[in-house]
Chains A and B, each alone.
Chain A
Amino acid sequence: MVDRIAILGGGTGGTVLANDLADRLAAEIDAGDVEVTLINDGPDHVYKPVWLYVPFGQREPADGRRPLRELVDSRVDVVVDRVTGIDTDARELALRDGPGPLAYDHLVVATGSTLAPAEVPGLAEGGHDYYSESGAVALREELLSMTAGHLVLSVVGTPHMCPAAPLEFVFMADDWFRERGLREDVDITYTYPIGRVHGNANIAEWARPLMDERDIGVETFFNVEAVDPDAGTIASMEGTELDYDLLVGVPPHRGVDVVAEADLGDRGWVDVDKHTLEAERAEGVYAIGDAATTGVPNAGSVAHYQAGVVARRIASEVRGRPATATYDGKTLCFVETGMDAASFVEFDYENPPSPAPPSEKLHWSKLAYNEAYWLTARGLL
């Protein structure tokens, strides 16, 4: 009997996992005892962190794309197709274009996040974002031509991808306008839904003084109710209204429909055991990365570590041994604090973050990581 492993989603988590399994189970795959199939709805692998730099004219969207087949070990069967149904009882995936359903013995859901700006009236029309490739490109046009006015960065929904990225954006914008001699003419305001500038209290305590020092305005308890694109205003349910000239919104996020329809969790996220990453509502299913509700940030580093854990667990299952590998909540993030300085945080379920003092060295480490990312995706780093 062949053991069939299906990985749904060829982003950071799915790609690292496919390469890890190809390496770990090479002998079994070569002997025809194990098959690994990676299904993604596009031919390219996308590295989203590049989008942070696109609006500032520092990177091109193409820098964040590579053909998936170039990144994935040839032992893995890459299928470019959209999964339109997950039947966890029959253990089958329905494909939009494929000849028939794809049967699996082990399924790993790595479908990531999607943006849901339509959940807030006016946001799609009035706001810009750098959380999508098209959003980052459109924002670049606006930002490059802005010479004066009020820039509002509003964190509209949580959880969202990369909780550090909104802070990074305002720190970078502040520095960038300063370098160009325009900062006096551009006001910057950052809004956040709860009573501090970041969900994690330690990171919030670290970031707030930096924002004050740099004259970045802060509105906390700001849960966006509506955006009025004609009036150029954004209003919160707590009763605050801000005028903006350029609104950069971090929109509400959801998982994907196919996960929601399979009833693996709420809003398209998969409920999992936060240590084993096994789905709580189905047998033979794991979830990793943004798709898995473990309570840790939606970050590529998380997807990467979780992929390693699931690879080890599935390899044990395939070999008929008990799966013992567990995820400890490990998260790593470089946090840009300007155009040439960055901080770094590392934490897990037990140990809270303690941000490192910003330095140029850490900034270069982040840029170096962005380059070396392709080795991570290949499973080499």
Chain B
Amino acid sequence: MTDIDIEPTDTVDARAAACPGPLMDLIGRVRSAAPGDVILLLSDNDESLTDVSEWVDETDNELLALDESGDDYGFYVEVA
């Protein structure tokens, strides 16, 4: 069970996609999102752990939380 209490604006399900698919799906959604939106990215790929946090560091967007409690990862990204 997750104890993350964030209501995402939108969810991107990138499970089963190979790298850099999950991050690219997230970036695609960030492009069309409004500032302040929170996007939940679901990925089952370990490389997303580095890819997503590196990209968020490089941009003004923020990784609010990472849910590692289930079989997949859940990245909560707030759009700058």
Q: A220-253 CB contact bits vs B (8 Å, 1 = yes)?
A: 0101000000000000011000000000000000
B21 vs chain A, min Cβ distance (A): 7
Distance in angstroms between the alpha carbons of A2 and B50 in the assembled complex = 53
Which applies to chain A's interface (DSSP): helix, strand, loop or mixed?
A: loop
Category for how many chain B residues contact A: 10 to 19
A254 vs chain B, min Cβ distance (A): 12
Contact A199/B55 with A158-B24, A194-B23, A223-B27 known, Cβ cut-off 8 Å: no
A336 vs chain B, min Cβ distance (A): 22
Contact A195/B55 with A158-B21, A159-B21 known, Cβ cut-off 8 Å: yes
Distance in angstroms between the alpha carbons of A47 and B23 in the assembled complex = 30
Which applies to chain B's interface (DSSP): helix, strand, loop or mixed?
A: helix
Contact of A238 among B17, B21, B58 (CB under 8 A): B58
Q: A288-299 CB contact bits vs B (8 Å, 1 = yes)?
A: 000001011100
- By a CB distance below 8 angstroms, the chain B residues around A237 are 27, 31, 59
**Are B16 and A295 in touch, CB under 8 angstroms?**
yes
A16 vs chain B, min Cβ distance (A): 22
- Does B36 sit within 8 A of A, measured CB to CB? no
- Does A126 sit within 8 A of B, measured CB to CB? no
Distance in angstroms between the alpha carbons of A221 and B58 in the assembled complex = 7
A318 vs chain B, min Cβ distance (A): 29
Closest chain B residue to A155 by CB distance? B20
16 A-B pairs within 8 Å (CB atoms) are namely A158-B20, A158-B21, A159-B24, A193-B24, A195-B58, A199-B19, A199-B21, A200-B19, A201-B47, A221-B54, A221-B59, A237-B27, A237-B59, A295-B16, A295-B18, A297-B18
Interface residues of A, Cβ cutoff 8 Å to B: 158-159, 193-195, 199-201, 221, 223, 237-238, 274, 293, 295-297
Interface residues of B, Cβ cutoff 8 Å to A: 16-21, 23-24, 27, 31, 47, 50-51, 54-55, 58-59
